């Protein structure tokens, strides 16, 4: 396994629990508890699980989202039985700022109800009753009680610790190149040349290395370019006169911004920026801070206690995510773009099917 982000850790954990001998490689695993890898792998991720509110109703994207939502709940229960907790905040409220968005939400509710999925429309009057106040331009909203949010860092830490307890080997090494064994690939085995000068041989290589994945694949003749997309996030402490956002019916999604209630009267605020270059990040951060000028007063007065950002991998010319068996023993699970946390379990399940079949 190459790459200890949320997808890589999920794949490694699932395979290890299925009885495979797994080694997870990532230089960010250099510290003993893996905290560096957790932060780097989840940079700018808030852990929103948008499955039932997904606008499409068929295709691979729809199937992966529904599978992942169910698997996250199964994994949470399994880990809980072993004394490990992944915090879950139920509910997701998508706010609409135009009549066109409201109409689209109404159509989605009708379609989902035919599938037996419970979505609910909230009127402008109902939104006005929420405390603290939601963004000023919201005309209505779409509420999914089944969707929600998990803490990405807590999820990765639980999976990593549980995997290690089950025998998962972790190695703080970068992989410099992959070599077929033998050179013509007839034996289906792989040799990994590591940055420290050593090498290891294995039957399967799973690449979950995000933006560094293309450099490993190009020498093998596999062209899978991915572009960086910058995401930024803030942790805010609310003013004392503001209501606790845990009273909202779920996390909020508004015009590309996500607001996630946190314990202790705190809030995560995050967004994905286009394009991904770090230049202009300061201006984008200000737009995030005031929600394009529509932040309610309590949010403007909130105090910033943490700020982080990270680059997400978006495939070029192919739909996200990249889930492919490139040749015997070589699997790719990368380019998850904005949905690495959401799609990690389904990606892991797909990898497991390829290896076990």
Residues 58 and 79 in one domain: yes
pLDDT tens column, 281-328: 677 788 889 998 999 999 999 999 999 888 889 999 999 999 999 999
Judge whether 272 and 231 are in contact, CB under 8 Å.
yes
Q: Would you list the DSSP string of 85-140?
A: ---EEEEEEEEE-SHHHHHHHHHHHHHHHHTT--EEEE-HHHHHTSSSPPPTT--E
Beta strands 226-237 and 303-315 are antiparallel
Can you give the CATH number for the domain in which 128 is found? 3.30.9.10
Distance, CA of 3 to CA of 8 (rounded, Å): 5
Residues 206 and 132 in one domain: no
pLDDT of the residue at 41 = 45
Judge whether 134 and 296 are in contact, CB under 8 Å.
yes
**Is position 1 within any domain?**
no
Of residues 8 and 272, more confidently modeled: 8
**Is position 141 within any domain?**
yes
Can you give the CATH number for the domain in which 191 is found? 3.50.50.60
Residues 270 and 349 in one domain: no
Residues 167 and 243 in one domain: no
Structure confidence at residue 44 as a pLDDT band (50, 70, 90): low
Residues 183 and 290 in one domain: no
Residues 77 and 144 in one domain: yes
Positive or negative, the CA dihedral 154, 68, 119, 42 is positive
Q: What is the mean pLDDT of residues 205-210?
A: 96
Q: How far is CA 24 from CA 228, 316, 318, in A?
A: 23, 26, 27
Cis peptide bond upstream of 321, omega within 30:
yes
Residues 238 and 146 in one domain: yes
What is the 3-class SS of 273-314, one letter each residue?
A: CCCCCCCCHHHHHHHHHHHHHCCCHHHHCCEEEEEEEEEEEE
Residues 196 and 67 in one domain: no
**Is position 160 within any domain?**
yes
**Is position 219 within any domain?**
yes
**Is position 139 within any domain?**
yes
**Is position 118 within any domain?**
yes
pLDDT of the residue at 40 = 47
Q: Is the pLDDT of residue 331 over 90?
A: yes
Distance, CA of 45 to CA of 107 (rounded, Å): 29
Residues 235 and 146 in one domain: yes
pLDDT of the residue at 276 = 55
Residues 173 and 220 in one domain: yes
The share of the chain scoring above pLDDT 70, in percent, equals 93
Least confident interval from 34-38, 61-65, 212-216, 343-347: 34-38
Judge whether 5 and 41 are in contact, CB under 8 Å.
yes
pLDDT of the residue at 4 = 93
Tally of structural domains, the chain: 2
| pTM, 2 dp | 0.95
Residues 63 and 126 in one domain: yes
Distance, CA of 68 to CA of 347 (rounded, Å): 8
Residue 101 host element (H or E): helix 99-114
pLDDT of the residue at 215 = 97
Q: How far is CA 256 from CA 9, 119, 270, in A?
A: 27, 20, 9
Q: Is the pLDDT of residue 336 over 80?
A: yes
Q: Which residues contact 116 (CB under 8 A, 6 or more apart)?
A: none
**Is position 250 within any domain?**
yes
pLDDT tens column, 190-201: 999 999 999 999
33, two tokens: 């508890």
User: How far out from the chain centre does Cα 231 lie?
Assistant: 12
Q: Please state, rounded to an integer, the average pLDDT across all residues of the chain.
A: 92
205, two tokens: 């290589």
pLDDT tens column, 77-114: 999 999 999 999 999 999 999 999 999 999 999 999 99
Residues 264 and 178 in one domain: no
Residue 321 domain boundaries: 6-44+155-225+317-356
**Is position 343 within any domain?**
yes
């Amino acid at each position: 396994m190459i790459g200890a982000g949320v997808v890589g850790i999920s794949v490694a954990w699932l395979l290890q629990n299925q009885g495979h001998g797994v080694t997870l490689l990532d230089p960010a695993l250099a510290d003993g508890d893996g905290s560096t890898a957790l932060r780097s792998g989840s940079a700018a991720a808030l852990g929103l699980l948008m499955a039932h509110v997904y606008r499409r109703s068929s295709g691979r994207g729809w199937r992966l989202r529904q599978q992942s939502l169910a698997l996250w709940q199964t994994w949470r229960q399994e880990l809980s039985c072993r004394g490990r907790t992944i915090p879950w905040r139920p509910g997701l409220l998508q706010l609409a700022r135009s009549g066109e968005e409201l109409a689209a939400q109404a159509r989605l509710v009708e379609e989902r109800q035919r599938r037996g999925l419970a979505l609910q429309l909230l009127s402008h009057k109902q939104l006005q009753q929420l405390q603290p106040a939601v963004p000023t331009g919201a005309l209505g909203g779409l509420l999914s009680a089944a969707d929600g949010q998990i803490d990405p860092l807590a999820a990765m830490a639980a999976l990593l610790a549980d995997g290690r307890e089950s025998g998962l080997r972790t190695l703080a090494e970068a992989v410099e190149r992959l070599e077929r064994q033998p050179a013509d690939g007839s034996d289906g085995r792989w040799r990994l040349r590591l940055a420290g000068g050593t090498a290891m041989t294995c039957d399967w290589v799973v690449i979950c290395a995000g933006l560094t994945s293309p450099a490993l694949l190009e020498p093998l003749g596999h062209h899978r370019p991915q572009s960086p997309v910058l995401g930024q996030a803030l942790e805010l402490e609310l003013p004392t006169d503001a209501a606790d956002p845990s009273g909202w019916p779920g996390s909020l999604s508004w015009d590309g911004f996500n607001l996630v209630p946190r314990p202790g009267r705190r809030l995560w605020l995050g967004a994905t920026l286009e394009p991904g270059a770090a230049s202009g990040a300061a201006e984008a951060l200000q737009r995030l801070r005031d929600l394009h000028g529509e932040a309610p007063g309590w949010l403007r007065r909130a105090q910033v206690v943490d700020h982080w950002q990270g680059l997400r991998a978006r495939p070029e010319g192919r739909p996200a995510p990249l889930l492919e068996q490139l040749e015997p023993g070589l699997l790719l699970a990368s380019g998850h773009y904005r949905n690495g946390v959401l799609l990690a379990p389904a990606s892991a399940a797909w990898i497991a099917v390829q290896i076990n079949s």
